[in-house]
Chain A
């Protein structure tokens, strides 16, 4: 191999491997999770075993915004009433990331060079937000988001994925150790 040092290394394959496909699908899955976390929480607390929030027989879903003692939303849906505090409302913080996730997933599946950058940036924000929420409000849904973020960072750094979006490698340096050579 070193016989051809002067030649450029072979170009990275541009086809989509299984790891890339999994990463793309995971991004879509995460987008779904982030988008639905708050509605699912609300539906769960309202007790939707008898009816869904969209059931026209029950009537409209009523939202009331409260600022005191802390930010909260009161939901009324038929006979069911529930107050959603910060722990649940924080799920809305992830909503701006949903389009980014969808964009990154689409670009990744289309093997576009910018996909990796968008995906990694989104995951960094998602995970930072998760950690911040974990140490402050500790909402239950955050663990699922964390899991998706950890899996995605792993897949995005998997060699088969990195190799598609890789840059150039630099020359290694020489290490001077304690041994005495000629010329020290």
Chain B
């Protein structure tokens, strides 16, 4: 097996070398013996034997070359040589390594996010079979559905292993001395079948526990077990307390399990027979299902559509207008981040590409300087392959060192991302692990090849010594170098245009008139739960009392409750009917449930009519407020005040308020109906308008509630401005990152322009000197180089603009009130690039002309 031997020889080349030496010295020893037998002295014999044999060293190498074609030795020698060559030019090496470290570091960091957020599957067995189930209606779009409908789907659909539902809410944990906030998930039957995880300790829920009046039961998280019970192995005999009731712990979930979110402490059984789960219109339940083995998404969708058609005939009033929606759970969780992440990844890859092109240009210039060295190596008998390999090794060494430094950079960037984008889904999964390192390794190889191949090929093309002195043979035009520069400029124009559009969007967003005043408003929650009071009116009374008491505190001007914060993405559209106007077309509007004081707290003016009154009965108000958009769109020829609006029961429109960007500050105000009910849920969001810094009100609020509701926890204190900020943190981060990429790209491109032109000038300095000596005008020479550089820059800018326009459509969903082809932005970018590049061109062009010709000519 000669090839096997060859391979083995490559690996154990040192042994072979030793063997060859032994074989050769044996030969010499035998020859010496023979010569001595013929009567020569020992020294003479040795001398003659050596002479006859020639250089042992050369023999050894030639013999070894017969053994192995490409040995590890060659590689090591190349690496050694490369390191030495690079250390001789530390400036060059450091520039390249730093460029690569930044380029690959940023690339690795973004990839680690993509990997964690988009590529890796969720931490469940066969996680790709998990789907989110929602319903879509004409008027409200995709929304969560009713628990009873999910029960029906589970019962009737044949393509699912199981379907379940859940809701999460913060509750007051009174197990310890002080009440604390605990995150509770109320889960439907078969929840554990869907997620495919069993409790690490104990059991799941029984059917009886899923019925009202059944035994109380709770599954606790590993974290909670640790925090509250110190991992007590007898925890199954213990209970937790919620407000004033005890729940028997029936099991502990594994540490790795965190669904619907990582911070869930308790899972409690949903009562399948409760009024709120049996109500087909009470749509607040998240549906999640597990597809049966072998079932495709498409099949499941058709199956569920069939089931829903059946339900529509059975319950025409509630079920005929909706369609079930099946989305892979991962897609549902990742949602809008996907586009942003790919945008970041795309731009960071473009940046890396620019860096590679830059390095390739540097290597090319370096190759030109090393013509002499290469020519000498050819003269000494090196093959083109070995010279090219040597040059490639250099770029491989650079790429490798750059990658190692890049991983360190990536670790830093990752940490920064976590701080800057805390709302990113699955953020805790982001880490630099084996997969990411493999990616880095792969990109290192790509980078080494991208950077090194063309220069290695080019530079190894000079086989004679003469060319190293023949100045005339050096082309000063270097079309390849200029092409590389053009690519850099074009790519950086594209990046800059994208970044500029995002910046302008963000700027417009920060100046938008939202219709309310978020400054000096504090938001928080007070724990509570459905079913904690026998009569809901008690809950209504409690919330109203809390609002009134808090409003009396010094430093607090007014308080309100709401179901959702204004200015944050989200919201539910509902279908209404105006009782007095006999119109066929349905009216759709956002429905928000707020306390009447909401408008005062947020400084939303009442434009017409008067403020609704606070309802005192348990079903809420009979009065609503509508915004101006609602009134002007749906009630044209008369005042909307006094009309009755009906979703289920008719409510009187008490007044009209100003338009507010309720469903996101990046969205135009839409017709909105405000349901004046402070207690639409037991755990509404509280808003407090404060005098001065909202954070100063935290302590007074805590102490008031301790006095008022000693068993409840108060938590999630966040100023409203910050909430809105956080909601758009992803936008901001995306913009900041992209701007920094774009500016880096621009500076790299300018370095490329500068370097290439400087080099062109240096090659022609003799010619320039001569021309000046012969009376050429210096301005003419400056102009000549200026034209040379700017011609490349301008055509590259044009190409870059065309590329930006091509990418514009993908970008439009991330922009706010600006077109992706906005001429002002693109024009500005064009001017900026040309201006900056002009400076990069002007410096070497001027330097060419100011040199004293005599000096240059003498130096030659």
Do A and B assemble together? Answer: no
Q: Which residues of A contact B (CB under 8 A)?
A: none
Q: Which residues of B contact A (CB under 8 A)?
A: none
